[in-house]
Amino acid sequence: MIDSIENKVIANISVGDSPGAIGINPQTNMIYVANYMSNTVSVIDGSVNDVVAGIRFNVNSVDRGHIICDGKDISTNDIIYFCIALSW
């Protein structure tokens, strides 16, 4: 984690193998990291700077660099979207 005001590292957070795409929901302070070699998505709670969940997912089919968080409807679910690569 980086403090964007001070421009310094404030925490190192271990996630899965080969982290790539990242999505941030500023309304819930949740960060989602796609880990390509471990086929997981790490869910980080930004308020405690720690991984709070791991989701098994065929991350290799995700277009690298594209996770979109929908924070508009946080009353029901924190929805994340992955762009799926249909061909390479």
- The confidence score (pLDDT) of residue 13 equals 93
**Tens-digit pLDDT profile for residues 59-85:** 555 555 556 555 554 444 556 665 555
Helix (H, G, I), strand (E, B) or coil at 61: helix
Residues 2 and 72: their CA atoms lie apart, in Å, by 25
Mean pLDDT, residues 37-42: 85
Burial string for 55-67 (b: 16+ CB within 10 Å, else e) reads: eeeebeebeeebb
Instruction: Give percent of the chain with pLDDT exceeding 70.
Output: 65
Confidence of residue 51 (pLDDT cuts 50, 70, 90): very high
Of 77, 88, 83, give the one whose Cα is nearest residue 23.
83
The two three-digit tokens of residue 8, written as one number = 């310094």
Q: Tokens 């960060």 map to which residue?
A: 31
